[in-house]
Structure 1
Amino acid sequence: MADFLDTRELADTYYRECALLARALTGARLAMVFDHLVREREADRPALGFGREGSTSAAVGRVHND
């Protein structure tokens, strides 16, 4: 992917690649990718420190899906 904000490229390339990967990893005959969410941090907000020493913010401490 060159541009995750390009919805056409996402649907044409990334969805297909994700479905192929899911099938390869699980042995499934069919995998359907039907939705995505692109998150962007506001320009005036500080970068996440991911819990590193001296950082004022941290990311969620566990894997999640929303």
Structure 2
Amino acid sequence: MRWAPRGCGGTRPSPEHVKRNGWHDQNILVVSPDDQRLTWPERELVRQLGEKLYGTRNISEDRNG
């Protein structure tokens, strides 16, 4: 398709931009337990919170495919 419907064109915001806006606009925090910007204790806290709220994650799945 060579054209997009009205309002669907333009650029897509980056995932970081979407996460930042979610935090500022809706008080939603999206954090990966693998985010290297966090210290080990912070990543561990994120992992524990995720498991408490949503159960253990399946890390054996290939995320790239």
The interval holding the TM-score normalised by the smaller chain is under 0.3
Q: Which has the higher contact order (CA 8 A, sep 6+)?
A: 1
> TM-score, length-normalised on structure 1?
0.27
Q: Quick check: which one's helix share is greater?
A: 2
